[in-house]
Chains A and B, each alone.
Chain A
Amino acid sequence: MTTLPPPSPVKLGLVIDLDTCVGCQACVTACKAWNTGGTGAPLADLDPWGASPEGAFLNRVHTFERLPEDGGPPQIVHFPRSCLHCEDAPCVTVCPTGASWKRAADGIVLVDEDRCMGCGLCAWACPYGAREMDPVAGVMKKCTLCADRLDDPALEPADRIPACVRTCPTGARHFGDLGDPESPVSQLVAERGGRDLLPDLGTRPVNKYLPPRTRDRAPGAPALDPVATDARGFLGWLDRALSTLPRLG
């Protein structure tokens, strides 16, 4: 059903720490590996060893440059982008076939690959570019929060979290219940001022992004300004001698 279910008390999602992410792409690789071998159709590539490879990914890491308004030092911010599992997911309600749905129990937005006719309207409706058409299967692919890992008794308990979170070497990705204000992820969001992406578009994303801390300004005097005003000795003589010459430029 592509009408949205009533809001669930459990809202599973990711919290991504932009202060800690180093842009190593490990989450991208782990996501691709898991979802290629997962339960649905594989996440296909076209021309993977050729001159112009391209394929479907559920997670992409962009790199942005940020110049603080207060003249602070510029920053490079690595920015992983994937499905935000929005509470008002526009990708779900536009779907004509019922393939796109939001799970009532925990709010995960999923695609029923056996019902998807590959029209692509859900990808248009998503402001975040979270959905990509599989170039071989012709069905829409998206982040499932690794729903097939979360309750798999065959996996070690530590592995029953999304592959991207499990693999992140810097601990920049956190997974949990954002519907419970007492959960570690909710407390992290409260403590660090977690934010929504494109909040004006009314999608109410569940995933939150923790802003990077502003870097310290470099200490010390500006380069090439005089640091001593009472020069003596040889350097004092040189300074006085140079000051008598005419200036060019």
Chain B
Amino acid sequence: MHPAPSLILFSSLSGLGLGLLAWASLLRPEGGAALLAFGLGLALAAAGLGASVFHLRRPARARFAFSQWRSSWLSREAVLAPLALGTAALHGLLLALRGESPLALGLLAALLCALTVLSTAMIYATIRAVPRWHHWSVPAHFLALAAAGGALLAAPAPLAAALLIGAGVLVALHWHHGRTAFARAGQSAATATALEGRVRLFAPPHTGPNYVTREMAGQVGRARAGQLRLLALALGLLLPLALLWLSPPLAALSHLAGVLCARWLFFAEAEHVVSLYYGRP
């Protein structure tokens, strides 16, 4: 799948921002600390949502995206994101100005943040045409990364360290599943064409690229996947663990860089079954 910068930035920044808002909502800092934590969380999440708009060819029609929450995870995300940000903002404002806010409001804000991250992940996890994504490890590692990133900025260091290690394990499990996911899904040029025997593409329908090959049958940069995996682990997990007790903001920055690497791989390595019609993967 095409690793669109808008989607990588969106899911990474909004994941970190929503994770931070969730932890701040639960741990209830007061006064200036609340202002800082909720302000940064809102800024990160809003920047992510802003980046996602660049993925739309007709952004003015994004207003319709709130309507189909009954069936579409993307619509659910669109509904949940402003609800989560609004609830967290209110909670943060009360904590900053009055030093107190109802416990239920904090719990609701944290739940809405988690549900927003879950709905982002479910957009991908429900696509059966991409076997690497159609797996429980996708929502699991999206949620774990958001929780760990937020904890780096808002939670006690031991908790953040434990969450980081947990997220690292889930990301590794997702990579492990991904290595063989396409083969295990069992689709081939033969099942794609309903032909019997050994089937291979003889001539493509067009010699140049088209929307389908650019968006779904591309193979950009998979050659450096191994190096990026190493970078994702080093920047996203190991360096933050080392920096956690020295400078949590630096640890979070390094973590974000690692998440960006992992998210790039998440798209670039995902094979879509339509590529079988184009003689790949």
Contacts and interface: CB of A to CB of B under 8 A. Distances in A.
Interface of A: 1-4, 18, 28, 52-57, 60-69, 76-77, 79, 81, 90, 92-99, 115-121, 123-129, 132-133, 135, 138-139, 195-202, 209, 211-212
Contact of A96 (B72, B129, B209, B274): B72
B195 interface: yes
A127 to B, nearest CB: 4
Interface string B193-217: 1111111111111101111100111
A96 B74 contact: yes
B64 A115 contact: yes
Nearest to B126: A94
B197 A68 contact: yes
Given A62-B203, A62-B205, A64-B201, A18 B58 contact: no
A93 B194 CA distance: 25
B127 interface: yes
Contacts of A93: 71-72
Contact of B277 (A55, A65, A125, A129): A129
22 contacts: A3-B68, A61-B205, A62-B203, A63-B201, A64-B195, A64-B200, A77-B193, A93-B72, A94-B71, A95-B74, A96-B64, A96-B75, A97-B67, A97-B75, A117-B58, A119-B56, A124-B1, A125-B129, A129-B217, A129-B277, A132-B211, A201-B187
Contacts of B185: 200
B191 A124 contact: no
B196 A98 contact: no
A2 B187 CA distance: 27
Contact of B58 (A76, A125, A138): A138
Contact of B274 (A18, A90, A129, A209): A129
B173 interface: no
B273 interface: yes
A62 B277 contact: yes
B142 interface: no
Contacts of A133: 57, 211, 215
Majority secondary structure of chain A interface residues (helix, strand, loop or mixed): loop
B61 interface: yes
A198 B187 contact: yes
Interface of B: 1, 55-62, 64-65, 67-68, 70-75, 78, 123, 126-130, 185-187, 189, 191-206, 208-212, 215-217, 272-274, 277-278
Given A118-B57, A139-B58, A97 B65 contact: yes
B65 A117 contact: yes
Contact of B129 (A90, A97, A138): A90
Given A69-B197, A197-B192, A197-B194, A119 B274 contact: no
B277 A211 contact: no
Contact of B56 (A68, A95, A117): A117
Q: Which 3 A-B pairs have the closest CB atoms?
A: A118-B57, A138-B57, A97-B64
A81 B212 CA distance: 12
- Most chain A beta carbons < 10 A, residue from B55, B58, B196, B209: B58
A239 B219 CA distance: 60
Nearest to A90: B128
A234 B197 CA distance: 48
A69 B185 CA distance: 22
A95 B72 contact: yes
A200 B191 CA distance: 9
B211 A96 contact: no
Contacts of B61: 97, 115-118
Contacts of B58: 116-118, 138-139
A239 B205 CA distance: 53
A47 to B, nearest CB: 10
Contacts of A119: 55-57, 65, 74
